[in-house]
Structure 1
């Protein structure tokens, strides 16, 4: 399947951001497109200021605090102390690996572009550690915070979230949502729209003729939205109620017995309930479940079409897995951009609080990456 221009542009930006500099000819070979297509894409990205092109190569643009390419708000946010030194942005995350590695890379790229510095706090998915890391970041003198707390799978109670409102610095929630009640509902946030991601997966399976579609998912803040999106998609696409209850999965190293149970339940769904398609959150669980199903005689995609959720390692499965790919890198960039705007508004001369722009809840849409783990079936 040919990549769209949007997909090629995204891939080019990822390659250049990772390597720093790359030859245009090498980009074409890596993307599997003609050299003229690669040159045209690079020219389009360079015209938008997203890349710097010179002598047949392309590199990541490095903006200084006084760069004319930075927006006025970005330059205002960069001049924090009046001497040109950029702001320090604290970033609280539950992990620096897997999903959040890409979020951090996006945030780092946006911060570096205006001379800001990113300071990381990692909670290790331990809720008590959130406060410890946040206090450490505040004590170090950060000017603003990007926050991904280690909340329970469902939305936090207002008291858990409201503590972030009175910190005295601008805060942006990243990949976290809060209830509509409570003062924290007015915090800025940037998230992937995981309900939409689940809808993309179910719609793709339905378009291939699958009517019996299951879900296997972790218990986590992300998976709770995937679950809600899956159920909403079944209704919207007139697929009826789930034939089998949602299958709970757990990390193999944390709960081997639960993984065995998930395999048994998915095997039962296929052989006794006629399930022909499944969405599995996350990639690691998807790969493990597919491997164990193969040992039990279930072939992918011949007997079961599989879509993974996260797209971190889905392409590395024996049968490369079609996957929902949240815009992790873009979430990190957008969160920093939003935080920098809030810092700039604070410094804008003569701007009263009532004149500040409204808070923002920004949802970025995942996309579906088609690979080899799904095939069409007769409409049953």
Structure 2
């Protein structure tokens, strides 16, 4: 497969970072391309502040060769997250707390769920001299890991993945990672509803993030484990403000299932969608929990609904904390090449409130 310009830029940056300074002709030979191509690449990278050019040579920007440090000598870690709000706010908070406790600090960059920009933002962190990286790629679709992940395996510093589970057996699967077991979280929700005497719950879920996709696959697995038959197809959820017609279609599908007697319970991803769904169902004459038991997934704002929502709470802050501790261990203990990589999976919990008619029960 032909190498892309972005991949070539990545290799060029790594060469210069290791050597400090190099001539364009030398880089052309090591990269296997023409000097004209290298000059063009250097011009583009220098324009972004990632390299310095001096009379036929290129060098790593002054002050970026070594990691920035606090007065006490602590390390600076880079963190790439798709968002600094909602779900990832807690992940970031946990990482920051763990870093501060160990005398380090975190430099944060946000991709806004645009996976094509992940590499450039990570290059910026490397140019700033970070010695280790915490990365949550901004993937949105099932195809994004294959299309936007190869560069992560070539990063020149220790790297830990956050809340992402690559394709088993892929190169990315060999990296350290810390993530929530969303399948376990869905199983907790389905089992809770069944224990309360409900029929197999509906799933109302998005399909625009790794968490959403994990909730969908976890639902299918939960039904298999519990020996249940799906009451119908997954109802596609969309943000009401972005797609009013799609949101209305989802609400009407739930209302129809309740009216037909095929559903008495539902699990909705995420909190905001669950709250808006409950509000719209009320307008359509479906009451929560009298007519429909409802569980939300994420537990960011579920407790603030008119009828506080029972919710699955992934251990977001703990994900950030454990990932930072793992990265610091890699950096400070100088473990050898034979030290096995680790996949740490943390279990969500179910916070029971009023939306299933079982407040106070665990």
TM range (shorter): 0.7 to 0.9
- Secondary structure, aligned partner of 2:77: strand
| Map of 2:250 onto structure 1 | 262
How far the C-alpha of 1:274 sits from its partner, in A, is 2.1
Residue-by-residue CA offset, 1:33-53 (whole Å, 9 max, x unaligned): xxxxxxxxxxxxxxxxxxxxx
Q: What's the TM-score, normalizing by structure 2?
A: 0.77
**Structure 1 residues 352 and 187: alpha-carbon distance in aligned structure 2, compared to 1, 3 A threshold:** closer
Alpha-carbon distance in 1 for matches of 2:145, 2:107: 27
How far the C-alpha of 1:253 sits from its partner, in A, is 2.1
Residue-by-residue CA offset, 1:130-176 (whole Å, 9 max, x unaligned): 12211111111111110011113326444532311211100000001
Residue-by-residue CA offset, 1:323-354 (whole Å, 9 max, x unaligned): 000000100100100100111233xxxx6423
Alpha-carbon distance in 1 for matches of 2:71, 2:303: 47
Alpha-carbon distance in 2 for matches of 1:114, 1:245: 48
| Map of 2:216 onto structure 1 | 227
Alpha-carbon distance in 2 for matches of 1:353, 1:218: 40
**Structure 1 residues 256 and 108: alpha-carbon distance in aligned structure 2, compared to 1, 3 A threshold:** same
- Secondary structure, aligned partner of 2:152: coil
Which structure 2 residue ranges, 5 or more long, are not aligned?
1-66
Structure having the higher Rg: 2
Alpha-carbon distance in 2 for matches of 1:100, 1:113: 20
| Map of 1:134 onto structure 2 | 122
| Map of 1:353 onto structure 2 | 337
Whether contact under 8 Å (2:139, 2:145) holds in the other structure is no
**Structure 1 residues 157 and 127: alpha-carbon distance in aligned structure 2, compared to 1, 3 A threshold:** closer
Alpha-carbon distance in 1 for matches of 2:155, 2:222: 39
| Map of 2:351 onto structure 1 | 369
- Secondary structure, aligned partner of 1:164: helix
Whether contact under 8 Å (1:199, 1:233) holds in the other structure is yes
Whether contact under 8 Å (2:178, 2:345) holds in the other structure is yes
| Map of 2:327 onto structure 1 | 339
| Map of 1:208 onto structure 2 | 196
Alpha-carbon distance in 2 for matches of 1:164, 1:118: 19
**Structure 1 residues 265 and 81: alpha-carbon distance in aligned structure 2, compared to 1, 3 A threshold:** closer
Alpha-carbon distance in 2 for matches of 1:353, 1:286: 46
Alpha-carbon distance in 2 for matches of 1:221, 1:82: 35
Alpha-carbon distance in 1 for matches of 2:154, 2:314: 31
Q: 1:114-133 residue pairs with structure 2 within 5 A?
A: 114-133=102-121
Aligned length: 291
Which structure 1 residue ranges, 5 or more long, are not aligned?
1-78
Whether contact under 8 Å (1:145, 1:170) holds in the other structure is yes
- Secondary structure, aligned partner of 1:165: helix
